[in-house]
Amino acid sequence: MERLAVALTLYSIIAWRILYATMLARTDPDLPCTVMLSKEEWQALYCNIHRVAEPAATPPTLAEAVLWIARLGGFLARKGDGAPGPHVLWRGFQHLPHITDMFLIMRSNE
């Protein structure tokens, strides 16, 4: 029972972050992505999506960052696809820590 309570607590935090990103990107897409992501996360995401070594000087908008995370999760972003939902964001958020870790490892060698 104790392990189940810990698991449910963790899953609740993850679900909150996914739904918060989904709704905030839809209601206020022009916010900077720093309201959701750390500096390292958005820079790693930027470099991964654009296939460049150096991130942009300014953070992208929240809508752009959420779209990029959804693309990591398999979202195709075609003309008629609409806004990404929680399922693809969940899959994308699973990849984000690995991308961020590799970004930080590569930066530490400079």
- Could you give the dihedral angle defined by the CA atoms of residues 15, 50, 75 and 16, in that order, rounded to the nearest 10 degrees? 10
**Which residue matches tokens 């979202």?**
75
Q: Which domains are seen in the chain, by residue range?
A: 2-108 (1.10.740.10)
Radius of gyration of the CA atoms of the chain, in A: 15
- Cα angle, residue 74 at apex, residues 70 and 80 outer, rounded to 5°: 75
How much of the chain exceeds pLDDT 70, in percent?
99
User: Residue 110: pLDDT above 90?
Assistant: no
pTM above 0.85, yes or no: yes
pLDDT for 44-89, tens place per residue?
A: 999 999 999 999 999 999 999 999 999 999 999 999 999 999 999 9
